[in-house]
Amino acid sequence: MTVQYVKAVAADYDEVIDLANYVFSAARVPHDFPAILPKLYKREYFTEAVHYLAKEDGKIRAVIGAYPLTMNILGDLLPGRGIGMVSVHPYTRSRGYMRALMEMALEDMRRDGMVFSCLGGQRQRYEYFGYTPAGTRIVFECRKANVRHVLGKDFMPGFSLRLLTAADRELVERIRSFHEAKPARLERDGERFFDIISSWGSKVYAVLEGETFAGYLICNSREDAITELNLGDPARIAELIALFLHNPGRIAQQDRVAVTVHPHETGKLAALTAFAEDYSLSSAYSFNIFNYPRILEVLLKLKARTLALADGAARIRIGGETLGIAVSGGNPSLDSSAGATPPDITLSPLEAAEFFFSPMAPLVFPAVRDNPFLRNLLPLPLFFESADEV
């Protein structure tokens, strides 16, 4: 038997999709990847050299995709790749194919100067490759009773909702403009923008005030979770939630909806905290950080934009690199040449992801808990939006 490790070409499309559909359908529920994630798996979007293949005698037996992503934080662009479609044929497991393909993908990411990589999957399985849960996702539980008490039982919404399709080009373009005005976001290619925001069977609603576009929301297929909400006036979020909960066409007629926001979205956080029943914090996604100086630099700027930072300094060694982090007059800075001075804290790259980005860091790391400067600074607002997951 001859085993080859290669990158896919266009002619491999059908076999790649067939293998992934078979593996995921056998393990979970029926899968049709082009239908579930058209942004990645439509035939016309299939890009050569993105999929890593293990072939036995010419037949594909394992596949991993490493899809380009760009994080835009205050205009700084951070290149990354998202790992998805991890598939090994059931009859060829335990032959090391997944490990070999992951190592190929990681080698290419480091060579190509990626700042980060991300994925979803069982924690320990991927920690062997440098990925760990990080960042902060905040989910509010909003109930009909909450908005009724805040707005009054006779409240009449000033908004209306319109469910969109790809044919609603003008409104989709307005959504794109709202998205691109965010201070922190994942870049979304214009040609496949609607395919991106409707990923995973999501529904996209335009929010209208009369005939005027006022914002949008993206919800899951069951309509019991709003995964992305962007409103021109965040102070009116309660009105929008009331409208959504009482929408007669809504599939899920429960009295509640989960609404996801991110730690730097202070306007939305203030509006939702004022009336939501409860909230929870969780990790945003699983990340592998290749370039800590670069991602820390931009996230420090984002943190300073949303919170008054206390002055102070710390030297932190990550792997073989020591970084000096300082705040003076509320302005953060990062020194990548601080190696000559002994560090205050030493971390592995895996530990560093939790240390810098986890909402648990001030509770579980004594170095943060016992240091007022770091306790004010951390966690940094690493985030990830559901529509961009792979």
> Are 144 and 278 in a shared domain?
yes
| 55 belongs to a structural domain | yes
> Are 332 and 262 in a shared domain?
no
| 129 belongs to a structural domain | no
Which tokens sit at 76? 């700084």
Last residue of a domain, one of 234, 249, 282: 282
* Average pLDDT in the chain: 95
> Are 165 and 299 in a shared domain?
no
Contacts of 63 (CB under 8 A, 6+ apart): 8, 16, 19, 20, 51, 52, 53, 54, 85, 86, 87, 101
The pLDDT of residue 101 is above 90: yes
The pLDDT of residue 252 is above 90: no
Q: For residue 119, what pLDDT is reported?
A: 98
**Facing residues of 63 across strands?**
53, 87
Query: Can you say how many angstroms the Cα of residue 204 is from the centroid of all Cα atoms in its chain?
Result: 18
Last residue of a domain, one of 235, 262, 282: 282
pLDDT, tens digit (0-9, with 9 covering 90-100), for 135-180: 999 999 999 999 999 999 888 889 999 999 999 999 999 999 999 9
Q: Assess whether the previous peptide bond of 379 is cis (omega < 30° from 0).
A: yes
The pLDDT of residue 249 is above 80: no
Of the pLDDT bands very low, low, confident and very high (cuts 50, 70, 90), residue 339 is low
> Could you tell me what percent of the chain has a pLDDT over 70?
99
Last residue of a domain, one of 247, 282, 317: 282
> Beta 76-88 vs 116-119: how paired, if at all?
parallel
Task: Give the global pTM.
Answer: 0.95
> Are 297 and 266 in a shared domain?
no
Q: For residue 129, what pLDDT is reported?
A: 97
> Are 98 and 160 in a shared domain?
no
> Are 265 and 166 in a shared domain?
yes
Say what angle helices 266-273 and 237-245 make with each other, to 10 degrees. 60
Contacts of 159 (CB under 8 A, 6+ apart): 207, 208, 209, 214, 236, 239, 240, 243
Across 196-200, 250-254, 345-349, least confident range: 250-254
- Domain hosting 364: range is 288-377
DSSP 143-169: EHHHHHHHH-TT---S-EEEE--TT-H
Q: Which amino acid is at 53?
A: L
| 119 belongs to a structural domain | no
Instruction: Measure the CA–CA gap between 21 and 32, rounded to whole angstroms.
Output: 6
| 130 belongs to a structural domain | no
> Are 206 and 313 in a shared domain?
no
Number of folded domains that form the chain:
3
